Amino acid sequence: MQTKLQLQVSPQTALNEVLLKEEVKQHLSLKDHATLHIKILKRSIDARGRKIRINLTVLAGVDEMILPEKIQLTYPDVCSSRKTCHIIGAGPAGLFAALRCLELGIKPVIIERGKDVKARRRDLAAINKEHLVNPESNYCFGEGGAGTYSDGKLYTRSNKRGDIEKILKTFVFHGASEEILVDAHPHIGTNKLPQLIQYIRETILRSGGEVFFNAKLLDFKTEGDKISSIKILNETGEQDIVVQNIILATGHSARDIYELLNKKNILLEAKPFALGVRAEHPQSLIDSIQYHCGSLEEVISKREFLPAASYNLVQQVRGHGVYSFCMCPGGIIAPCATSQEEVVTNGWSPSKRNNPYANSGIVVGLELKDFEPYRKHGPLAGLELQKQFEHAAWMFGGKTQTAPAQRLQDFTNGKFSSALPDCSYQPGLKSVEMQQVLGKLIGPALKEGFKAFGSKMRGYVTNDALIVGVESRTSTPVRIPRDKDHLNHPQLKNLFPCGEGAGYAGGIVSAAMDGERCANSIKY
Ligand SMILES: Cc1cc2nc3c(=O)[nH]c(=O)nc-3n(C[C@H](O)[C@H](O)[C@H](O)COP(=O)(O)OP(=O)(O)OC[C@H]3O[C@@H](n4cnc5c(N)ncnc54)[C@H](O)[C@@H]3O)c2cc1C
């Protein structure tokens, strides 16, 4: 007999199969001689009280084995398919669009400006160590897109926009741990993501799809209300390719694509987005606050059975939402600029989340009215505002990838930090009054937001923490509009704006789901 049950257990019990089976036996009032098999289906942490509990959904097999579920996905051979779809960008949106194309019998042809996932690593090292930003290969551009060297958090609130379970199962099929199907807040980690991305590419190639790296979309020609051909720049020069359908999944950092569309009078819209800084705390401090510890010893003993703690903060300030974004427990702050004269931060974590720092974007939500001074740039107003902040960070940081930074409490008190604590950001930091970088639009709202966070999480506002600027690529400041039912651009029937860059996703899973939706919408 198999039964599903909900349990609340201690962190120790959740990690120990013998203890957990005892708990299940008691729960089901089983006799001692009954043979019990268990499988954890869902797991979440309830850390609201001092006594931390783990919520589990457990499948119990009494005198009955629980067979492991084997995830089998099949991708038909599309080698000789007459239906092709050119997918621009090999981020999560582009890759999952390609996988869905395979399922639909369409041959996907991926055009990616960056390098394959392994070759990309050298360019990341060059940013971190030599301050050299390759505009075609960096933390945002290259195989796997912006999500490749990330924390690989796989949760999304967009559960109405697609089948989250299918996306997670596709990751498992391509080598991710099955734990991502169990955890309420699953993540993969930077050390594991590149291999998964490579396996996804191999699936695409094995089934007859094509993938081109170092190939950048430069331009396109139209005939009537369709794109007839695209111009690609690759290692051998420029090439024109005739196309049937295009999924444009170029991400939020492909500024040249927005500029190209704007120049060609293809409809774009300015879109609200958020700007701010990355805050970094000692992980033990965040653990201590979130797990209600009175001493470092208590942190150490609780952490034996609990993961690095995270947080999620939000506060309304002066008509703006101030909130935490993309929190990376046990993580590293990454230099995410895509061209030379800008500094951009984001964060990543390895699968074990075992670095001594906790970082998170803390950003201020901006509305269209905030772009007013940039009105002359039309739909690109927000983009110009974003550029200006990134350039200011570069100037104040010393015109390299060194980032401007300040101790958190000093920032809230308007005091210069004479020295900065250690930080995970590899290119280095320069002590700066961050108010100068953030200006009137962001600075005061952030200051008040941090103060409010300090009363929600006692100890959060401390000079042991740092803020590093700027966190500016939270989402795109430009939307590429599309028909709400058919998902094609209103002026171009065979152009499907897709993923985060088009304004329809925010994060790996939602971008992947949007890729699938766009592939589903293609007509021949
Ligand atoms: C450091 C970092 C950490 C992150 N951590 C997380 C996380 O933990 N969880 C999460 O859900 N999200 C995270 N994100 C955000 C997430 O990566 C994005 O939301 C997601 O990758 C968006 O997917 P996308 O496919 O729409 O676009 P992207 O991933 O941006 O992919 C776009 C691709 O298009 C290519 N491209 C651009 N222009 C052209 C062109 N002209 N021609 C050809 N190719 C082009 C780019 O090279 C890129 O590979 C993180 C982002 C960063 C930078």
Q: Are 251 and 307 found together in one domain?
A: no
Residue 499 Cβ inside 6 Å of ligand 1? The answer reads: yes
Residue 146 Cβ inside 6 Å of ligand 1? The answer reads: yes
Token pair for residue 313? 């903060």
Residue nearest ligand 1's atom 19 by CA = 507
Please report where in the chains the tokens 């001594």 appear, as a residue: 356
Q: Are 219 and 285 found together in one domain?
A: no
Residue 87 Cβ inside 6 Å of ligand 1? The answer reads: no
Q: How far is the CA of 251 from the centre of ligand 1 (A)?
A: 5
Mutual orientation of helices 508-521 and 92-103 as an angle, nearest 10°?
40
187-201, 242-256, 383-397, 492-506: range with lowest mean pLDDT: 187-201
With a threshold of 0.85, does the pTM exceed it? Answer: yes
Most informative mutation of 139, 151, 171, 253 for ligand 1 (most atoms within 8 A of CB): 151
Q: How far is the CA of 166 from the centre of ligand 1 (A)?
A: 20
Residue nearest ligand 1's atom 35 by CA = 89
Q: Are 258 and 380 in contact (CB under 8 A)?
A: yes
Reported confidence tier of residue 33, pLDDT bands at 50, 70, 90: confident
Residue 232 falls inside a structural domain: yes
Residue 346 Cβ inside 6 Å of ligand 1? The answer reads: yes
H/E element holding 400?
Answer: none
Please report where in the chains the tokens 């210069």 appear, as a residue: 416
Q: Are 15 and 122 found together in one domain?
A: no
CATH value at residue 245: 3.50.50.60
pLDDT at residue 157, as a whole number: 77
Atom of ligand 1 nearest to the CA of 499: 26
Residue 73 falls inside a structural domain: no
CATH value at residue 48: 3.30.1660
Q: Are 233 and 134 found together in one domain?
A: yes
Reported confidence tier of residue 478, pLDDT bands at 50, 70, 90: very high
Q: Are 467 and 328 found together in one domain?
A: yes
Mean pLDDT, residues 150-157: 82
- Answer yes or no: is pLDDT of 487 > 90: yes
The mean predicted confidence, pLDDT, of the chain is 96
Reported confidence tier of residue 434, pLDDT bands at 50, 70, 90: very high
Residue 194 falls inside a structural domain: yes
Atom of ligand 1 nearest to the CA of 93: 25
pLDDT digits (tens, 9 = 90+) for 212-227: 999 999 999 999 999 9
Alpha carbons within 13 A on the beta-carbon side of 340: 3
What range defines the domain where residue 284 resides?
Answer: 274-471
pLDDT at residue 156, as a whole number: 81
Residue nearest ligand 1's atom 52 by CA = 146
Task: Look at residues 90, 82, 70, 83 and name the one whose alpha carbon lies nearest to residue 204.
Answer: 90
pLDDT at residue 429, as a whole number: 98
Reported confidence tier of residue 158, pLDDT bands at 50, 70, 90: confident
In 243-340, DSSP assigns E strands to 246-248, 269-270, 274-282, 314-317, 320-328, 332-335
| Terminal-to-terminal C-alpha distance of the chain | 50
Residue 151 Cβ inside 6 Å of ligand 1? The answer reads: yes
Q: Are 364 and 218 found together in one domain?
A: no
Token pair for residue 77? 């051979």
Atom of ligand 1 nearest to the CA of 346: 1
Token pair for residue 301? 């003993």
Residue 503 Cβ inside 6 Å of ligand 1? The answer reads: no
DSSP conformation letters of 259-276 = HHHHHTT---EE---EEE
- Answer yes or no: is pLDDT of 32 > 90: no
Q: Are 174 and 261 found together in one domain?
A: yes
Q: Are 217 and 94 found together in one domain?
A: yes
Torsion of CA 134, 140, 142, 148, to 10 degrees: 130
Q: Are 466 and 507 found together in one domain?
A: no
Reported confidence tier of residue 247, pLDDT bands at 50, 70, 90: very high
Whole-angstrom Cα distance, residue 379 to residue 267? 9
Q: Are 202 and 310 found together in one domain?
A: no
Taking only Cα atoms into account, the Rg of the chain, rounded to an integer number of angstroms, comes to 24
Residue 330 Cβ inside 6 Å of ligand 1? The answer reads: no
pLDDT digits (tens, 9 = 90+) for 292-339: 999 999 999 999 999 999 999 999 998 899 999 999 999 999 999 999
Q: Which 8-state DSSP code applies to residue 231?
A: E
Task: Look at residues 83, 111, 78 and name the one whose alpha carbon lies nearest to residue 248.
Answer: 111
Q: Are 239 and 141 found together in one domain?
A: yes
Q: Are 244 and 285 found together in one domain?
A: no
Residue 72 falls inside a structural domain: no
Residue 471 Cβ inside 6 Å of ligand 1? The answer reads: no
Residue nearest ligand 1's atom 2 by CA = 150
Residue 71 falls inside a structural domain: no
Residue 283 falls inside a structural domain: yes
Specify the amino acid at residue 450: F
Residue 44 falls inside a structural domain: yes
pLDDT at residue 299, as a whole number: 95
Residue 507 Cβ inside 6 Å of ligand 1? The answer reads: yes
Please report where in the chains the tokens 């991708």 appear, as a residue: 75
Residue 78 falls inside a structural domain: no
Q: How far is CA 149 from CA 153, 332, 392, 427, in A?
A: 11, 11, 25, 16
Residue 497 Cβ inside 6 Å of ligand 1? The answer reads: no
Residue 111 Cβ inside 6 Å of ligand 1? The answer reads: yes
Whole-angstrom Cα distance, residue 386 to residue 365? 12
Mean pLDDT, residues 241-267: 98
Which one is predicted more confidently, 352 or 390? 390
In 188-285, DSSP assigns E strands to 210-212, 216-223, 226-234, 237-242, 246-248, 269-270, 274-282
pLDDT at residue 68, as a whole number: 84
Atom of ligand 1 nearest to the CA of 154: 11
Q: How far is the CA of 336 from the centre of ligand 1 (A)?
A: 11
Residue 147 Cβ inside 6 Å of ligand 1? The answer reads: yes
- Answer yes or no: is pLDDT of 430 > 80: yes
Reported confidence tier of residue 147, pLDDT bands at 50, 70, 90: confident
Domain count within the chain: 3
